Structure formats: structure tokens, C-alpha cells
């Protein structure tokens, strides 16, 4: 059995593990540990120039990948292939966030459905960085749909592809880059230079996954596949992110919505280009976006598992067993 098929199958198995178990509490979550470690390092090593940010990025990747590589090497020595596979699935699952993304989006959607807009505003920061104060139902719904779209790449498609490409070390490296972008990849006075390397690394790491995600969205919405393609081609370039615009445009077209607009992040106001040509998002569209994200996750997992299952079905042992049964 070739290595890339095993890596892809391990990534697919991680989707099932994430769906069944979900994220552990923050005090036990490796990504939360990583975030705290990098926050401490930033306090010691912050500097207002790009090279400081490059060193911070390099340190973060090492912090995330070296323990994984050592754990995997130990598992191979002590438990062989089965233990190595368990490490691969566990690490990949730790880098995923499909279940937690779905749960947090559902919390906001349920609050809006019950008319509890203040509760929805309180829940919104778990999904987006924009200021929730003063947002009405339509703006909250738009924020959630955009977050579900973007995180379908960040928390599902990208970690799966990196796990399939580089195994647990690849998945851990991706999660380090993506987490650092979320921590320091801003354009404000403090992080404009220090966060530059993390932001650019995240753009590179998500370039292919975002486009793969858009293709899967089109496959999951065949009646709107042409609309998805047009939105990605014509409207996504107007988004400030080279990757978030792609997947948000795909979701907007697939759901028949119009995303984009004015976002406020504290004192910073950003005006986003229109994505999609449909109607304004409403509370009910949160559940529609969640269902689309779940379909994308399922299709990605099946696509990753398929080569392994195909080769397994054609293995000599399986063939002999089938002939004997006849």
C-alpha cells in the first residue's frame, strides 16, 4: 500500500473522529497549547520588523512539528504501523474544526431564530473578529455565512489536504501557520511588519485548498455550478484575501446569496466587494451554509478515502479471498 494513499485515508478517518468526538476542552487542546506558547514568545520577541516575524513563524512551525515527528517516531518503534496510523489520525483530527465550526454557527443561528439578537451578538466573536455591536439580523447572518465558508477551507479542506500530502507533520505545520495568521496576521500598527510572514505563509498554504474547496462546493451544488464558477472568476478578486474571497464567492453563489459589505474590526473599517448576485443573508441561511459545509466535508473525506479503498479491494489477498468464496 503506497504511502500517499495511507496518508489520505488517515486524513479521511480524522474527519470521522472529529465528527464523533469533536474538540477537547481548551486546557487539553494541542492547538490551544500552541497558541499560549506563541503568545508567550511574542511577548518576549516582538519587534517592529519583518525578520522578527519570520523568526516567529519559524519558531512556531518547529514548536508544532517537532513534537509530532518525535511522537510518530516513537510510535513506529514501539507499536509499528498500527500505532503510527493512530498518531496520524489523531494529529489530523486535532487540526480539524468541522464539528466545532458547525456548533458555533448553530448557536448563533438558534439565537436569531428565537429573536434573541443580543445573545447572537455575544456568540458571534467565537466565529468572527468583527465588532458585533449594532449588527442587525442580516449582518449577523452574513458574518456567520462568511465565517462558515472561510473556515470550511481553514478548518477542513486545507488541513485534510496537508495531512494527505505531508502526513501528521504536514497537518501540524499547516495548523501552526494558520493559527499564527489568526494571531498576528493583521495590518494594524503592531502587526503590519511582525505579522507579515505569517500572513503571507497562510496565503500560500491555503491557495490550492481554497480553490479545491470552491470546486467541491460546485460539485455539491450542481444546479448552481456555473454560478459558482462565474462568482469565483469575476468577484473573488475583489476580496482583500486571495483565498477567503474564492470560497466565500463559491458559497454565496451556491446559496443564492449576496455577501460582502462593510465590516468593522474595532477602530478599523473595511469595505468588502460584493460576492454573489442573490439576496441578502437571513437567519435561516445559517443552517443552509452549515449543511453545505457538511456536504463539502463529506465529499472531501470520501475523495481522500477512495484511493485507499480501491487499492485495498484490488489487493492480491482480497482477490484470492473472493475467488475462494466463489
pTM here is 0.92
The confidence score (pLDDT) of residue 268 equals 73
User: Rounded to the nearest 5°, which phi and psi values hold at 259?
Assistant: -105, 180
pLDDT band at residue 1 under the 50/70/90 scheme: very low
**Whether pLDDT at 102 is above 70:** yes
pLDDT at 269: 76
Contact predicate 15/164, CB 8 Å: no
Dist. CA 259–CA 255, nearest whole Å: 10
Residue whose grid cell is 464539528: 99
Amino acid 235: pLDDT: 97
Mean pLDDT of 145-174: 97
Q: Is the pLDDT of residue 157 over 90?
A: yes
pLDDT confidence bin for 22, thresholds 50/70/90: confident
Residues 6+ positions from 41 with CB-CB distance below 8 Å: 56, 59, 60
* DSSP codes of every residue in 148-169: HHHHHIIIIIHHHHHHHHHHHH
25 band by pLDDT with thresholds 50, 70 and 90: confident
Cell, residue 166: 505531508
Within the chain, residue ranges assigned H as helices are 3-21, 30-45, 50-95, 98-113, 117-123, 137-152, 158-184, 196-220, 225-234, 244-255, 284-313, 316-325
239-277 residue pLDDT tens: 999 999 999 999 999 999 999 988 887 777 788 889 999
For residues 173 and 158, give the distance between their C-alpha atoms in angstroms, rounded to a whole number. Answer: 11
Amino acid at each position: 500500500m503506497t504511502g500517499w494513499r495511507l496518508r489520505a485515508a488517515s486524513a479521511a478517518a480524522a474527519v470521522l473522529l472529529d465528527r464523533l468526538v469533536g474538540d477537547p476542552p481548551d486546557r487539553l487542546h494541542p492547538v490551544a497549547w500552541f497558541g499560549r506558547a506563541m503568545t508567550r514568545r511574542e511577548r518576549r520577541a516582538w519587534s517592529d520588523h519583518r525578520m522578527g516575524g519570520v523568526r516567529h513563524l519559524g519558531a512556531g512551525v518547529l514548536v508544532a512539528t517537532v513534537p509530532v515527528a518525535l511522537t510518530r517516531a516513537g510510535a513506529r518503534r514501539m507499536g509499528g504501523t498500527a500505532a503510527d496510523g493512530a498518531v496520524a489520525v489523531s494529529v489530523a483530527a486535532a487540526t480539524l474544526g468541522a464539528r466545532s465550526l458547525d456548533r458555533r454557527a448553530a448557536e448563533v443561528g438558534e439565537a436569531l431564530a428565537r429573536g434573541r439578537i443580543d445573545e447572537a451578538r455575544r456568540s458571534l466573536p467565537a466565529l468572527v473578529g468583527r465588532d458585533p455591536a449594532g449588527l442587525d439580523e442580516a449582518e449577523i447572518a452574513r458574518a456567520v455565512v462568511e465565517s462558515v465558508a472561510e473556515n470550511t477551507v481553514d478548518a477542513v479542506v486545507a488541513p485534510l489536504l496537508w495531512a494527505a500530502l505531508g502526513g501528521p507533520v504536514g497537518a501540524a505545520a499547516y495548523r501552526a501557520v494558520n493559527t499564527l495568521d489568526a494571531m498576528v496576521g493583521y495590518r494594524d500598527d503592531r502587526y503590519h511588519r511582525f505579522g507579515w510572514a505569517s500572513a503571507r505563509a497562510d496565503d500560500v498554504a491555503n491557495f490550492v485548498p481554497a480553490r479545491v474547496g470552491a470546486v467541491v462546493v460546485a460539485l455539491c451544488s450542481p444546479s448552481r455550478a456555473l454560478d459558482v464558477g462565474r462568482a469565483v472568476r469575476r468577484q473573488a478578486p475583489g476580496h482583500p484575501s486571495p483565498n477567503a474571497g474564492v470560497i466565500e464567492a463559491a458559497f454565496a453563489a451556491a446559496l443564492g446569496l449576496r455577501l460582502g459589505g462593510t465590516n468593522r474590526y474595532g477602530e478599523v473599517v473595511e469595505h468588502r466587494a460584493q460576492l454573489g448576485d442573490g439576496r441578502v443573508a437571513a437567519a435561516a441561511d445559517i443552517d443552509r451554509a452549515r449543511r453545505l459545509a457538511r456536504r463539502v466535508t463529506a465529499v472531501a473525506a470520501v475523495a481522500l478515502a477512495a484511493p485507499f479503498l480501491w487499492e485495498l479491494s484490488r489487493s492480491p489477498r482480497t482477490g484470492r479471498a473472493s475467488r475462494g468464496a466463489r
